[in-house]
Amino acid sequence: MASAILLTLAAAPLAAPSRPAAERSVEVAALERPRVLSAASRYLDEAPRTVTAARSPRSAGGPHEFFSEGDYWWPDPKNPEGPYVQRDGMTNPDNFVEHRRALMRLSVQVPALAAAWRLTGEGRYAAAAGRHLRAWFVDPETRMAPHLKYAQAIHGITTGRAQGVIDTLHLVEVARAIEVLDGSPALSAAEREGVRGWFRDYLAWLTSDENAVKERDAKNNHATCWLLQVAAFARLVGDQERMAWARERFKTVIVPGQVAADGSFPEELRRTKPYGYSLFNLEAMAGVAQTLSTKDDDLWTFALPDGRGLRRALAYMVPYIRDKKTWPKPPDVMYDAEWPMRQASLLFGGLALDQRDYIALWKTLPADSNVEEVVRNFFIRQPVLWIEPTAERGGAAQQRRRARGVSGGEPTASSRSVGSPPEIKA
């Protein structure tokens, strides 16, 4: 059995001991361990539930094909049987959501189980995760088809659309979990290849399908989330060419097109939930940087000639995460009181940019929520999976992304009650 992996810098001196501020105070494992093991223990006996367990009569697809409906589309009061009409920011509670809930459940449970395996080396956690991975990606009776042709359909308008690609954002941390589970008893060698084969097929669809390409070319968080998926899935299957392409797109398309001179995201600020969408886009950018940065191409420190980059985007949002009352825009029309959460962008950015105050702020925020909409839009929940304990990449930025975490005891309790880790109905 593998021994517990301690993600600590204190026990592993770095080549550059002159950078003590953020690094020596960091130990993700010590902070996260009670939370991770509590959740993972609850999930040990949970049976897999995939898209084949529920079917909508409004879906144009088959039993293995993911189906969802556009969130902000409602029956037209003037024509109740006709095409739906849009109400931006207002979620229709009568939409079919069972496939999305099943995917969210996968994205909550498998990463927690994989994090528990990484922390303890106990095979029972890996085996439990393996049951879900086998059902979703290998078993011909229950696996999901590797595409999203029927995602975010709109009644009377379209059977699926480009915006639906964002629904598999919840597979990003699952992909991380799969990497961590390599060498564990989760899957056989053939099953591991089968799982990667599914992601290889999905990556091919994601980079070639007409709707997926439209999503790539969106002007807001949808494009960032598309890129994060490509980055995460390419990393999982070892596609270095697509990873290199994704790095360039981040620098030449995402940052120039979405980050304003002050670091804000204008396309998110114009929405009816500007605060939540700004946090959401920042998380996706942080995920891209954490996934793709290398010794010679660090996306955390990349900046355009005018200074725009991820560093500036973080600097813009941090004051409003620290004190939301100072937020200059109107409150979000729904779920405003639920944000911020323990945003991974604060931890990853604090470590990469030596910003100790970002890490301190991260520690004070709630890590889990029982609000389904928050679970849906808070997609990096297990930092233990994102902090590599033994990777040797060389260079200051890469050494900062080795064994990391946050020491110093328990986080300060948030004034917002969040309860236990999320229960996802499916």
Report residues of the chain scoring pLDDT below 50: 1-26, 390-419, 425-426
Dig out the tokens for 349 from the structure.
């950015």
Q: Please give the angle made by the CA atoms of 321, 412 and 112, to the nearest 5 degrees.
A: 85
Cβ contact 424:41 at 8 Å? no
> For 24-165, where are the alpha helices, taking DSSP H only?
28-43, 98-120, 123-137
Provide the phi-psi class of 89: left if phi over 0, else alpha when psi is between -120 and 50, else beta: left
The pLDDT of residue 27 is 81
- Neighbouring residues of 345: CB distance < 8 A, sequence distance ≥ 6: 279, 282, 283, 285, 286, 314, 317
The pLDDT of residue 232 is 98
The pLDDT of residue 8 is 33
What is the distance between the alpha carbons of residues 215 and 14, in angstroms, rounded to a whole number? 41
How do residues 231-274 score in pLDDT, each as one tens digit?
A: 999 999 999 999 999 999 999 999 999 999 999 999 999 999 99
Residue 70's SS3 state is: coil
The pLDDT of residue 396 is 28
Superfamily for the 23-400 domain: Chondroitin AC/alginate lyase (1.50.10.100)
The pLDDT of residue 423 is 56
pTM: 0.86
For the chain, which residues make up each domain, given as ranges? 23-400
